[in-house]
Amino acid sequence: MMTKSKKTYSGEETKMNFIDKSIENYAVRKSETPSNLCDELESFTREQVEMPQMLTGRMEASFLGFLIHALGVKKVLEIGTFTGYSALAMAEQLPDDGKVVTLDINGETGKIAHDFWKQSPHGHKIQQVLAPALESMQQIKESFDLVFIDADKGNYLNYFKRSLEMITDNGVIVIDNVLWSGKVLQDNPETEDTRSIQELNDYVSSQPDLYATMLPVRDGMYLIRKR
Ligand SMILES: C[S@@+](CC[C@H](N)C(=O)[O-])C[C@H]1O[C@@H](n2cnc3c(N)ncnc32)[C@H](O)[C@@H]1O
């Protein structure tokens, strides 16, 4: 089990709340949210795992679930599994023959994910790949209706460009943390992660062949599809 004294990932040290917590809680209460098992996984992660704030949480998971239904998604590619919360939340919304392929390098958090997925009737839809995500993305030859990018920020632009090659014609790419707790506003970015996210955001917003919408949900979600 991963102890709280251990550092696993250098990003996401702090999180800014863009909206009042009580308003967000109200929105969550009025939304379809993931299963009790997802809640248990969230609690376990908060209590036992370093950097629990990396987990997407109920508001974002609800939104991803809505997209899955609205777009009729059958295949999801997730970049950044962590303890498996968002993969499980998305699997719960997929049809029985749907699948989530989820990529991560961390075997320790991957084991926690696997142990929780085993307890779910939707766990069979999840395929876990433990390797550097960019390498896995080069090897995977199938296409996906939805790609969710939520891993190391330095590779965000690489993940995005490869994702464009991997989505179906009507496919959607969702990128998490694109507001980076507001640090994207820095003229002289203090960290490489901030610079990388700014570069990604500038690239996406300058592409005339893409339709992109950035939502200030949680830490910022970018929704992108081809025109
Ligand atoms: C923000 S967390 C993912 C959170 C997850 N989507 C959730 O909602 O619970 C980011 C993950 O990216 C993984 N990661 C970092 N660098 C990676 C790389 N080069 N390849 C694959 N995964 C990587 C980390 O191990 C970490 O688990």
Neighbours of 93 (CB within 10 A): 22
Q: What is the pLDDT of residues 186-214, one digit of tens each?
A: 999 999 999 999 999 999 999 999 999 99
Residue 165: phi and psi, rounded to 5, are -80, -15
For residue 8, name the pLDDT band (cuts at 50, 70, 90): very low
pLDDT at 93: 98
pLDDT at 17: 73
**pLDDT above 50: residue 165:** yes
pLDDT at 168: 97
Residue 199: phi and psi, rounded to 5, are -60, -45
Residue nearest to atom 27 of ligand 1 (CA): 82
Of residues 193, 180, 216, 174, the one with CA closest to residue 89: 174
Q: Which residues line ligand 1 (CB under 6 A)?
A: 9, 54-56, 80-83, 85-86, 103-106, 109, 132-133, 150-152
| d(CA 9, ligand 1 centre) in Å | 8
Of residues 80, 104, 79, 102, the one with CA closest to residue 91: 102
Q: 164 with 189: CB under 8 angstroms?
A: no
pTM metric for this prediction: 0.94
